[in-house]
Structure 1
Amino acid sequence: MKNKFILLILCGLLVVFAPAKVFGEIKNNNCYNCTIDSNLTDFDNGKYWIQKITYKNGETTTINPVDKFSFIMKNNNFIPNVDIQNEYGYSLAPVRIIVEELGGQVEWDEQKNTASIEYKNNKIKMSTGDKNAVINDRVVVLPIAVQMIDDRMNAPLRALAEIFRADISYNIDIMPFGNPLISIDTRTKKVTKEEAVKLASDAMERAYKTFLKNNRYVDGSDTSNIVLNEIRQKIDDIEYKDELAGYWILKGPYEILVDKSTGDLLFKYGTNGNGGSGSYAEGICSVNVNDLDVFVAGYFAG
C-alpha cells in the first residue's frame, strides 16, 4: 500500500516534465516518460517491478529488467513497438516499416518472396534467404541473409540505413535497463558539437535564472544552497559526452540532448532502469527555460 501511495504522489511530480515548445517547434514523438506500471506489478510477491513507457503520442511499451527490448527512432522521433530481432550480432528489422518510415515504397511479390523498393529514384530488390540486395542493377552483399519472421520480411537494419544513406547509431545508455536505442537519421546536420555546447550553456543559464525565482525551493536554507551550488557547478562544467545519429549528448545538470539538425534541447532525466522505488521515473522531455520547476526533479524531488 505504501508503494501505491508513493505512485500517487509521483503523478504530481511528473508535471515537471510536461513537454514544452522551446527553441522552435518540437513536434511528433521525441519524448517519453517511464514509470512503474501499478496495474501489472505485484508489489508484494513479484520477482521484479514492471515499467511502462509512455511516448509523447500516447502509445506505450511495457518492459522489465529481464527481457531485452530494442527501441528505435527516426529523425529523433520514436517509432514505438517495432519488433527488432537480433541474429548473430545484427539487428533485423521489418523492411516495410523501416522503408515507409524513411519515405520509400514497398511492393511484395509473394510468389518470388521478393520486395521491390522505390526511394528517391532508386530501385532496390531484396529476396528472403538471399544475402544479395540489388540497387539500381548493382549487387550489394548484406552481412546476413534477409529473413521472414512472423510473416514479415526482415533485413539487417544497419545495411538498410546505409542503403538509404542514413546515419545510424546504437546506444545503451539512454533507455531504461540499458536496453538498446537504435537511432536512424536522414536529415542535414546543421549544429556542430561546439555549437551544441554553446546552445546548451546559454539555455541552462537562462533556466537557472528562472529557477532562482522559485521561492518554494530557493529558500536560503543550507540544504537549498548546497543543491543550488551543485546545479551551478554542473552548468559551468557542461561538456560533450556522447552522440546519437540525430543528437549530441552533453553532460550537465541532466543529460542534455541537442538536436543536430534543429538545435532543439531535451533533458534525459532519471536513472537508467533503477525502478526499485515507487517514486521511480525517467525519460526524455523538452527543455523549458521559463519553467520555475525546471531543476526540481532529481534535485529537490523524485
Structure 2
Amino acid sequence: MKKKKIMSLVLCSLLAVLVPFTVFGQIENNNCYQCTIDLELTDFDNGEYWIQKITYENGATTTINPVDRFTFLMINNNFIPNVDIRNEKGYSLAPIRLISEELGGQVEWDKEKNAAFIQYKNNEIILNAGDENAVINGKTVVLPAAAQIVDDRMYVPLRAVAEAFSADINYNINGIMPFGNPLISIDTRIKKVTKEEAVKLAGAAMEQAYTTFLKNDRYVDGTDSSNKVLAEIRQKIDHIKYKDELAGYWILEGPYEILVDKSTGALFFKYGTNGTGGSASYMEGIYPVDVNDIDVFTRDYFAG
C-alpha cells in the first residue's frame, strides 16, 4: 500500500511539472482510434484480403485494406479523418482551407484570381492556383509543387504550409497506423515535455499501472504461465526507452508502444499487430493509458 502511494505521488508530481494545461486544435479529443475487421465489407470466403475499418474517437470511420495506401493526417495530435491527400512530385498536397482552419487560421478565396488569402496569427500567405510561388508576409517563396484546384478546392504542399505557420511537421511510415500506412503529423503547440522527461513520466505511470494490474485475480493467478507473462511485462517496464517521434508525440518502447504528448504529457498505448491480424477478432489502435484500470495489461498479453 505504501509503495502504491509513493508511485502515485511520483506520477502526480511529474504531471504537475509537465502538464500545466492542455491545448487543443479545432477538432478536439480525437486522438484515439480502433481498427477492426469490417465484417460487412469483407468477403471471408472468396475475398483476396480482409478489409479493415478504423473508428475514431469522434465516431468518424475510415475503410482501408492491405493493398491501397492511405495517408492519415493528425493536427495537434487530433486525427483529421478522411482528408484527401494527394501526391505531386513526391510531395503531399492537401486542401489549404481545411489545414488552415484546423490550425486556427482564416481563409478568403478570390474566385476571379483563383487565389487564396490566409491569415494566421501575424502571418499572411497568398497562394495562386497553378503558381509555384507563394507570397508569405510580403516575400516570395518557391513551393516544391504548384498550388492546384481539384474539385473546387485548392491543394498545396503540406510541408510548405506547415513551415509558413511555424509548425512542426513529421512524415511517419511503418509506424503507428495499420498496414504501415503513412501518417503526417502537424503540430503548432508549445512543447513542454522533453524526450528524457517523457521516459520518466512513462516509467512512473507504468509502475502504477503494474501495481494496479497485480490485483487482477483473473490473470494474476500464480501459475507458471501467468508468472512468465508478468515477468515479460516487468522487464519491458524496467527498460522503457525512446523509439521514434511524431510532430506531437514521443514514441517509446515499453509493455506496448507508448505515445507521450510533447505538449501535455498525456500518455497513450499503441496496441495490435499493424494490420496483420489473422482472425476476425483482430483489433489494433491507440487508446489513453489508465493506470487505475485493472485490465491495463490484459490486451495482447493475456487476451486478444
Name the structure 2 match of 1:73: 74
Structure 1 Cα separation of the partners of residues 283 and 88 of structure 2: 32
* 8 A contact 2:274–2:284 mirrored in 1: yes
SS of structure 2 residue aligned to 1:57: coil
Structure-2 separation of matches of 1:151 and 1:128: 11
Match of 2:264 in 1: 262
TM-score by length of 1: 0.91
**What residue in structure 2 maps to residue 49 of structure 1?**
50
Partner of 2:135: 134
Query: Could you list the runs of 4 or more consecutive aligned residues of structure 1 that deviate by over 3 angstroms after TM superposition?
Result: 23-27
Q: Within 2, Cα distance between the matches of 1:232 and 1:137? A: 57
1:301 aligns with 2:298: no
Which stretch shifts more, 42-51 or 269-278? 269-278
Query: Which digits, 9 at most, give the CA deviation of each residue in 1:93-127, with x for residues without a partner?
Result: 00000000011111111111100111113221101
2-side partners of 1:220 and 1:207: how far apart? Answer: 19
Checking the alignment, whether the CA contact within 8 Å between 2:73 and 2:183 is kept in structure 1 is yes
Output the CA distance in 1 between the equivalents of 2:210 and 2:122. 49
Aligned-residue offset at 1:150: 2.2
Aligned partner letter, 1:91: S
Deviation at 1:147, TM superposition (A): 1.0
Give 2:169's aligned residue: 168
Contact 1:49–1:276 at 8 Å: present in 2 too? Answer: no
Aligned counterparts of 1:248 and 1:299: Cα–Cα separation in 2: 23
- 1:131-178, Cα deviation, whole Å (9 max, x unpaired): 100012110111111111222100000001000000000111110011
| Alpha-carbon distance in 1 for matches of 2:281, 2:104 | 40
Kept in 2, the 8 Å contact 1:73–1:79? The answer is yes
- Residue 104 of structure 2 corresponds to 103
Percent of counterpart pairs with the same letter?
Answer: 75
Partner of 1:5: none
- Residue type of the partner of 2:43? D
In the alignment, which residue of structure 1 is the partner of 2:218?
Answer: 216
CA distance in 2, matches of 1:100, 1:204: 37
CA contact (8 A) 1:51 1:275 kept: no
Task: Give the whole-Å Cα distance in 1 for the aligned partners of 2:294 and 2:207.
Answer: 13
Question: What secondary structure, in the 3-state scheme, does the structure 2 residue paired with 1:230 have?
Answer: helix
Q: Secondary structure, in 3 states, of the residue corresponding to 1:242? A: strand
User: What residue identity is the alignment partner of 2:139?
Assistant: R
- Greater mean deviation of Cα atoms: 129-138 or 204-213: 129-138
Q: Is the 8 A contact 2:76 2:186 kept in 1?
A: yes
Q: Tell me by how many angstroms 1:79 deviates.
A: 0.5
> Do 1:49 and 1:275's aligned partners in 2 also have CA atoms closer than 8 Å?
no
Task: Map 1:217-232 to 2 at 5 A.
Answer: 217-232=219-234
**2: CA distance between counterparts of 1:292 and 1:157?**
42
Q: Deviations over 1:219-259 (max 9, x none)?
A: 00111000000000000010000000000000000000000
CA RMSD of aligned residues (A): 1.2
Tell me, yes or no, if the aligned pair for 2:251 and 2:260 is still in contact at 8 Å: yes
Aligned partners of 2:105 and 2:262: how far apart in 1? 23
Q: Who is 1:187 aligned against? A: 189
Cα deviation, 1:192-224, whole Å, max 9, x if unaligned, reads 100000000000000000000000000001110
Q: How many residue pairs end up in the alignment?
A: 280
TM-score, normalising length: structure 2: 0.90
1:89 aligns with 2:93: no
2:239 partner amino acid: D
Specify which structure has the bigger relative contact order, considering alpha-carbon pairs within 8 angstroms and separated by 6 or more residues: 1
Q: Which amino acid aligns with 1:226?
A: K
Partners in 1 of 2:44 and 2:240 — Cα distance?
39
Residue pair 1:71, 1:182 contacting (<8 A) in 2 also: yes
Distance 1:180 1:237 in 2: 28
Amino acid at match of 1:249: I
